[in-house]
A and B are shown apart, each in its own frame.
Chain A
Amino acid sequence: MENKPTSSPTSFVDQSVVPGDVVLDLSNMTNQTLKLGGGLRQDCDAISVMKAGKLRFSNPNKYWVESSQKRYVPRAGDSVLGIVVDSKADNFLVDIKGPGLAFLPVLAFEGGTRRNIPKFEIGTLLYVRVVKANPGMNPELSCTDASGKAAEFGLLKDGYMFESSTGLSRMLLSSPTCPVLDALGKKLSFETAVGLNGRVWVNASSPSTVIVVANAIMNSESLSGVQQRIMVEKLIQNLKLST
């Protein structure tokens, strides 16, 4: 398994890798601290890949493997869209498309006290932040950001939610703005909430706008930037023709 990598580590960055590929040889690098993210594993001197995807690198020393799936693996710090499944005395049970249900403490809201516990019925859509996500335990969520402010977390009213892959969610959240949202935003006004767990919520003043935006986003996963713009223009033209 300990192959001598024939090329330097940077050549693997932004390339598709599969489990078993050795992407870094530590024997060449001394006195350096590397941060390994998801999908990478250290075996003595070799860093090998555990998950199929693209290897990414960010300065100064972070490596990780990015892949797009329909399932979501909860990680602390992610902002996700959850659906309330049940409410208990101390917390709400929320489904975030992970292996198990997540707990949202009843008090984890801005200015939350025992007196003003929000009432969420089953099926309510929430925009929440993952606080703790340890393997084997149910993840813990919160409707506030790290400093305790609401910061737009919480209940999402009206609108329409649909599922996407994790890769598409990341693309929608990337900066600079991804071409689909950019092109749509120039012509239509709408608001979206994107969860890293593969859920996207869209709201606008008229149902036809919502439908156009939702379909445009759903179709844009495998298209390049230019193709996305073309697709969006076609959809908007159809929309204008029908109204």
Chain B
Amino acid sequence: METRLANIWRLTVNEKKFIETALQSDLRIDGRRPFDFRNISIKFSREEGSAEVQLGQTHVMAFVTAQLTQPYKDRPNEGTLSMFTEFSPMADPSFEPGRPSEAAVELGRVIDRGLRESRAVDTESLCVLSGKSVWAVRVDLHILDNGGNLVDAANIAALAALLTFRRPECSLGGEDGQQVIVHPPEVREPLPLIIHHLPIAVTFAFFSNESTVVVDPTHYEEAVMGGRMTATLNANNDICAIQKAGGEGVLQSVIMQCLRIAGQKAYDITTKIKNAVESYNTERALRKIKRHPSSVALDISGAGVNKEKNQNKPVPQKGDSERSNLTSEKSVADQSMDIEGEAKSSEQQQTNKIDGDAKNFIGGPSSWDPYSAGVNSDFLKASLASRGIKMPRRKEQDSRGENMTGEAKPVEPSEDINVSSSNIEASETVLWTNGEKTLKDAVKPKNKRKMKSSSTSER
């Protein structure tokens, strides 16, 4: 019993007095100003749908998984989103293993409310068979280290994980069309969740000194504070949820000020999350591309191989060697995806001698094709969007010497390939079914549509 007493973290009267005194001169013990957030670092792992967030000393991990289940009776068309929190005993001496404590339940509830009530995650798109089979998305939050302000960090982790999660694609089959077939990721590219906006939680701590408010309290400040409030907002300044459970009474003007500050912080954090997710998606796309060239190169005809090598030499000189590799590899990969359209594509490309080298290594069919049906349109969109090719392709066409031309062209043929192959079921592919066109027609209008679709589906 005494040993237990000895292991608890204790607060001295000195610290309490000092924190409050320092706050009166707008100083915090780690040198921050009252409305500064700590440094946020977001990391992802190889598994899709898992994120680790560090907010100063606070460490939180989130995992997202999905399963097919029966929907609720009163909502037969919607999938479900549920949140589970685990306060690991290694995070804080006061965390016990076993049943979630009150704080754990409250944390899960605040984050859940922010996502659910604001309809940030689109649950209707998770419906597979109305009334019978829907996707149940489950978010597991693990607290690894408690350095204060768990709600905010856990919220960021949950959002980052949801943004990078991919669920398997499924289709209806069987005799009566009632059987759900789940396609494994090797066969069909998994799909991301549709997330309309990002609700960000911002926590404020109030102290006994009237209007002393700080943002993002640390562990010490949490022990000393008189009350706290969490406001969940998105980047458009829409308030998704507010949580103030007991504690000190606060003036209305203070609350309004807090909400205004929360709006700014939400915007900053949203940008950070989006940047992190984008760079993760780029890296993921790169990883996929690198799988292909080694096998496809063998099958390309001799001319194609030589020209590929030739291309690789002059292009790096233009400056961006990474991009050129991406280009060549990507174009090669695109070819491997769809055998059927290749003949057409090679024709079309050869009619388009903007950058002669890039076209010519579309050679014979590759014998190894992991994508037996369709194209991973998501992958294309992700890599395009992340490379930021939002500028009109016209510029690229004009500036022939530029690197970007090399990138643009190999994508076009694959779009046309998609046009010709009709076995893509995702809704986004409606755009692609435009009939056969020449490359020049394809470039301008098609790109705008594709950009818009990629930007809306990804955000």
Within 8 A of B (CB), among A122-139: 123-125, 138
B34 to chain A, nearest CB (A): 13
Residues in A with CB closer than 8 Å to B287 are none
Among the stretches A22-30, A152-160, A221-229, the one at the interface with B is A152-160
A121 to chain B, nearest CB (A): 7
Residues in B with CB closer than 8 Å to A161 are 12, 14-15
Is B29 located at the chain interface by the 8 A CB criterion? yes
Is A13 located at the chain interface by the 8 A CB criterion? no
Within 8 A of B (CB), among A55-102: 83, 85, 95, 97-101
Within 8 A of A (CB), among B397-450: none
Among the stretches A108-116, A168-176, A179-187, A207-215, the one at the interface with B is A207-215
Q: In the bound complex, how far is the Cα of B6 from the Cα of A110, in angstroms?
A: 27
Is B25 located at the chain interface by the 8 A CB criterion? yes
Main secondary structure of the interface of B (DSSP, over half): helix
Q: In the bound complex, how far is the Cα of B18 from the Cα of A158, in angstroms?
A: 7
Decide: A214 and B29 in contact? CB cutoff 8 A. Answer: yes
Interface size, chain B (Cβ < 8 Å): 21
Contact of B25 among A85, A138, A208 (CB under 8 A): A208
Is B21 located at the chain interface by the 8 A CB criterion? yes
Q: In the bound complex, how far is the Cα of B22 from the Cα of A159, in angstroms?
A: 11
Residues in A with CB closer than 8 Å to B10 are 83, 85, 95, 123
Decide: A158 and B25 in contact? CB cutoff 8 A. Answer: no
Decide: B6 and A207 in contact? CB cutoff 8 A. Answer: no
Chain B residue with the shortest CB-CB distance to A125: B12
Chain B residue with the shortest CB-CB distance to A212: B31
Decide: A100 and B31 in contact? CB cutoff 8 A. Answer: no
Is B251 located at the chain interface by the 8 A CB criterion? no
Decide: A156 and B14 in contact? CB cutoff 8 A. Answer: yes
Is B13 located at the chain interface by the 8 A CB criterion? yes
Q: In the bound complex, how far is the Cα of B10 from the Cα of A95, in angstroms?
A: 9
Chain A residue with the shortest CB-CB distance to B21: A207
Residues in B with CB closer than 8 Å to A157 are 14
Is B245 located at the chain interface by the 8 A CB criterion? no
Q: In the bound complex, how far is the Cα of B10 from the Cα of A159, in angstroms?
A: 16
Residues in B with CB closer than 8 Å to A215 are 30-31
Q: In the bound complex, how far is the Cα of B11 from the Cα of A99, in angstroms?
A: 18
Chain A residue with the shortest CB-CB distance to B16: A123
Q: In the bound complex, how far is the Cα of B8 from the Cα of A101, in angstroms?
A: 11
Residues in A with CB closer than 8 Å to B5 are 85, 95, 101
Q: In the bound complex, how far is the Cα of B10 from the Cα of A215, in angstroms?
A: 20
Decide: A159 and B14 in contact? CB cutoff 8 A. Answer: yes
Is B102 located at the chain interface by the 8 A CB criterion? no
B86 to chain A, nearest CB (A): 24
Decide: B27 and A160 in contact? CB cutoff 8 A. Answer: no
Residues in B with CB closer than 8 Å to A160 are 14-15, 18, 29
Across the A-B interface, give the 9 residue pairs with the lowest CB-CB distance, nearest first.
A207-B22, A160-B18, A125-B12, A123-B13, A83-B10, A123-B12, A125-B14, A101-B6, A207-B27
Q: A85-B10, A207-B27 are in contact. List 17 more A-B contacts (CB 8 A).
A: A83-B10, A100-B2, A101-B5, A101-B6, A123-B12, A124-B12, A125-B12, A158-B18, A160-B29, A206-B25, A207-B21, A207-B22, A211-B22, A211-B28, A211-B29, A212-B31, A215-B31
B residues with CB within 8 A of A: 2-3, 5-6, 10-18, 21-22, 25, 27-31
15 A/B residue pairs, CB under 8 Å, sorted by A: A83-B12, A85-B5, A85-B10, A95-B5, A123-B10, A123-B11, A123-B13, A158-B14, A159-B14, A159-B18, A160-B14, A161-B15, A207-B22, A207-B27, A208-B25
